[in-house]
Amino acid sequence: MSEMLIKRYSVQSEVTSRLRNQIVEGVLRPGTRLQERQLCAQFGISRSPLREAFQVLAAEKLVEISINKGAVVSAPTPEFTLQNFALLRALELLAVKLTCRGAEETQLDGIYQAEQEMTSHAGDNDLRGFFRANNEVHRQIVLAAGNAPLADAHLITSRQIIRVQNLDGPLEHVPSEGVGEHDEIINALKDRKEALALALFDAHLDTVEENLRRRLMEFAPDTGKITRARRSNATQHA
């Protein structure tokens, strides 16, 4: 019996992962109704693990469930997206601080390798690959911080930002800007210059926020009315 329960959980987990990825990557667009019969046939599963997956995705704000429509892919709102970005900023700045203080050299090398992949995509003018590698650089910095709760919170929060980036393909962007900023950040990390790394990363996140706001304006014209979030005292650096 216990083996059957574990197997059932793995099915639910796998279905959740597949649907989540399709939503974040923009394959399943906001407003898309998730048809139970179609998805059960596609995945070769019963309705029970599928409905359990819907509940997980609803808790992550990726799906909305109603009696009349069932499960529908949620539409990210400017307010909710920017709230998530404010949290993402705090998490990543904390990660930079912890990484400077305690990351292993092999972890710093991993960040550098991710940055080199990003540079390669920029050289090829592959914007989708560039953004994917860019997000991986940020993720590697968080993982190098060595704080599991921080890494978990970052994974959940970053999905809300990445899905906006992917709504209509990667946002128009000058890759060389991101590469230059990351070069400076990584050099500061490798030299363990905490104050410099924090200041550089904070400025880099300003650029990310501006790009995010431009993307939000594409499908929510009133986003311009949202005032720029002021950084809290916790993110100010001497």
Is 20 in the same domain as 96?
A: no
State the total domains in the chain. 2
Q: Which domain holds residue 92?
A: 78-235
| Statement to judge: residues 95 and 155 lie in one domain | yes
CATH of the domain at 59: 1.10.10.10
CA distance 216 to 83: 13
Based on the domain organization, do 126 and 146 belong to the same domain?
A: yes
Q: For the whole model, what pTM was predicted?
A: 0.82
Q: Are residues 65 and 178 in the same domain?
A: no
- One domain for residues 102 and 199: yes
Domain endpoint, select from 19, 49, 73: 73
Q: Which residues of 104-122 are buried (b: 16+ CB within 10 A; e: fewer)?
A: eeebbebbbebbebbbebb
Is the pLDDT at 123 greater than 90? The verdict is no
Both 10 and 69 in one domain: the answer is yes
Pinpoint the alpha helices (H) of the chain: 2-24, 36-43, 47-59, 78-102, 105-123, 127-144, 148-165, 175-190, 194-219
Containing H/E element for 64? Answer: strand 63-66
Whether 94 and 169 share a structural domain: yes
CB atoms within 10 A of CB 91: 20
pLDDT in tens, 10-34: 899 999 999 999 999 999 999 999 9
User: CA-to-CA distance for 41 and 55, rounded, in angstroms?
Assistant: 19
Q: Do 146 and 192 share a domain, yes or no?
A: yes
Q: Which of 53, 73, 93 is the last residue of a domain?
A: 73
My answer on whether 158 and 229 are in the same domain is yes
- What does the pLDDT look like over 64-103, one tens digit per residue? 999 888 999 999 899 999 999 999 999 999 999 999 999 9
